[in-house]
Chains A and B, each alone.
Chain A
Amino acid sequence: QLVLTQPPSASASLGASVNLTCTLSSGHSNYAIAWHQQRPKRGPRYLMKLNSDGAHSRGDGIPHRFSGSGSGAERHLTISSLQSEDEADYYCQTWGTDIPWVFGGGTRLTVL
């Protein structure tokens, strides 16, 4: 069964960088993932798609401060020059035949 694992929380200082991780379960390292941001009391916002080779494509209007990396089972979302508005929950998500419901549990990012 395909499972996405995310640490429940992360924190970093204003202006710094932070790296968020999403780990795909064994045997599923070739799946592409997407990263979504959810600010408090808001709907999710698509950030980017991240392929298994580390190539990524940002959604419309997503700043270059957001970048994706990683290959194999471990994928990363790096946010540089952290701003207060980046404080949010970040979800990774994958898709495939008959597995549309796979979201990670989310990482709550606190900007100090």
Chain B
Amino acid sequence: EMQLLESGGGLQQPGGSLRLSCTASGFTFSNYAMSWVRQAPGKGLEWVSGISGSGGHTSYADSVKGRLIISRDNSKNTLSLQMNSLRAEDTAVYYCAKDETSSQTMMVFDFDLWGQGTEVTVSS
């Protein structure tokens, strides 16, 4: 069974840092692009960042460029999101999501698997 399990969320002060992780199982991790999608309290889904299966290509929403860094370790089936210079507006539940289309180089964003989420709160 394919699964994604996020961890690393918590309470952090504005300007601080957090590192989120997503551990994948049940599929060949390196064959699929992955993304982080967040959901602020009471709001809808917002794509944050994506990375190709090989890790060679990344993409970011304008709201997080320069502050958040996506990476992956295919030997450990792990996706990460390094969150720096945190702002109150980064407060959200963060989900990792898997592309349905198999590719090591392309990011398609046709999500077919989601994790259960990890909550990030940025507050003083």
Contact = CB atoms under 8 A, between A and B. Distances in A.
Contacts of B116: 42-43
Contacts of B59: 100
Contact of A44 (B46, B107, B109, B114): B114
Interface string A25-65: 00000001010100000111110010000000001100000
Interface string B86-111: 00000000010100100000011111
B47 A101 contact: yes
The interface residues of chain A, by DSSP majority, are classed as loop
A103 B43 CA distance: 12
Contacts, number: 54
Interface residues of A, number: 20
Contacts of B110: 32, 34, 49, 95
B11 interface: no
B35 interface: yes
A58 to B, nearest CB: 11
Interface of B: 2, 35, 37, 44-47, 50, 59, 61, 95, 97, 100, 107-117
